[in-house]
């Protein structure tokens, strides 16, 4: 009986499957294939969130291009800002000089070169004849005189430093009004020290006195700061000399202003030579 029942059930199942019964097919399909279909569907949905359609990729490329262009414009503006900031800082340096000397025409400039063969710390500025620069124009910083224009090109000029032996600057002690000539020597140039010569043997100058330009000769304006008296002595001929420490170190400056015009420029004034008078 049991064998008969099992046989009948088995035949019934085979018949149903053979006949394509949807219930049995659905049962086996749901049991085996549905989980696989769900897994495939989830994977497809996840992939569609990562892989953008062509139109989205194009939008991203356009956005990146726009951002790159904007970044380029911002960098350009930043460079312009730094240039303006530097220019304003340079102009502010000479504000006090201009305030104290309303007759000065100042031309702010940048040091663009130094000659390695130059033994007395001359340098080249980025202004030339097209900017109104002339030979012998004084050159100053916010701290005082540094030299004069010795050569002029169209777009640049060479400056001879005040501590060079080629320099000749009429100067006086602000306190005692003793006069002399500021120049340089190979001995003291390396130390950024100038030498004041042609002074009276009876001068009253002392260490710490302030030395300024006298204005004699018409090459330099009056009362431009030069430096302070460092020490007093005599040269090899027995004539008095004064060592002057400039307010500005010409060996390291990166910018300066050229005085293209000032009151009394080119006017030659008679200059007494007290050193010669003392010999008599």
For residue 252, being part of any structural domain is answered with: yes
For residue 59, being part of any structural domain is answered with: no
For residue 164, being part of any structural domain is answered with: yes
Q: What are the tens digits of pLDDT across the range 106-156?
A: 999 999 999 888 889 999 999 999 999 999 999 999 999 999 999 999 999
- If you count them, how many residues does the chain have? 280
Q: Are 229 and 206 in contact (CB under 8 A)?
A: yes
Residue 87's CB: how many other CB atoms inside 10 A? 12
Q: Are 118 and 143 in contact (CB under 8 A)?
A: no
Is pLDDT of 181 > 80?
yes
Distances in whole angstroms, Cα of residue 38 to Cα of each of 26, 44, 45, 215: 16, 10, 11, 99
For residue 210, being part of any structural domain is answered with: yes
Q: Higher model confidence: residue 196 or residue 117? A: 196
Q: Which of 71-80, 138-147, 185-194 has the lowest mean pLDDT?
A: 71-80
For residue 36, being part of any structural domain is answered with: no
For residue 109, being part of any structural domain is answered with: yes
- Average pLDDT of span 253-279: 70
Is pLDDT of 249 > 90?
yes
Residue 108's domain comprises 95-279
- Average pLDDT of span 179-205: 94
- The 8-class DSSP code of residue 270 comes to -
Q: What are the tens digits of pLDDT across the range 197-247?
A: 999 999 999 999 999 999 987 899 999 999 999 999 999 889 999 999 999
Sign of CA dihedral 240, 243, 246, 252: positive
Is pLDDT of 91 > 70?
no
For residue 23, being part of any structural domain is answered with: no
Residue 278: band (very low, low, confident or very high) from pLDDT cuts 50, 70, 90: very low
CA torsion angle 238 240 246 247 (round to 10): 160
Indicate which CATH number applies to the domain containing 122: 2.40.10.340
Total domains present in the chain: 1
Q: What are the tens digits of pLDDT across the range 11-20?
A: 665 555 555 5
Distances in whole angstroms, Cα of residue 17 to Cα of each of 9, 14, 31, 183, 261: 12, 5, 15, 121, 114
For residue 64, being part of any structural domain is answered with: no
């Amino acid at each position: 009986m049991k064998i008969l029942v099992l046989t009948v059930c088995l035949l019934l199942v085979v018949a149903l499957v053979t006949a394509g019964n949807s219930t049995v097919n659905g049962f086996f399909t749901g049991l085996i294939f549905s989980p696989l279909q769900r897994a495939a569907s989830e994977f497809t949905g996840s992939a569609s969130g990562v892989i953008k359609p062509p139109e989205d990729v194009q939008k991203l490329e356009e956005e990146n291009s726009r951002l790159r262009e904007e970044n380029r414009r911002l960098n350009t503006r930043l460079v312009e800002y730094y240039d303006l900031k530097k220019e304003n800082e340079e102009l502010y340096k000479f504000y006090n000089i201009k305030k104290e000397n309303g007759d000065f025409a100042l031309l702010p400039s940048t040091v663009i070169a130094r000659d390695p063969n130059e033994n007395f710390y001359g340098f080249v500025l980025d202004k030339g004849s097209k900017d109104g620069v002339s030979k012998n124009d004084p050159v100053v910083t916010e701290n005082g005189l540094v030299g004069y224009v010795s050569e002029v090109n169209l777009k640049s000029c060479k400056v001879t430093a005040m501590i060079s032996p080629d320099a000749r600057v009429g100067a006086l002690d602000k306190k005692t009004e003793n006069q002399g000539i500021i120049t340089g020597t190979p001995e003291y140039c390396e130390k950024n020290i100038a030498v004041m010569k042609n002074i009276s043997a009876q001068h009253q100058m002392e260490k710490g006195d302030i030395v300024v330009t006298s204005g004699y000769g018409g090459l330099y304006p009056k009362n431009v700061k030069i430096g302070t008296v460092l020490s007093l002595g005599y040269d090899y001929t027995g004539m008095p000399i004064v060592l002057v420490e400039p307010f500005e170190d010409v060996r390291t400056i990166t910018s300066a202003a050229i005085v293209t015009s000032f009151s009394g420029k080119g006017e030659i004034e008679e200059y007494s030579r007290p050193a010669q008078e003392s010999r008599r």
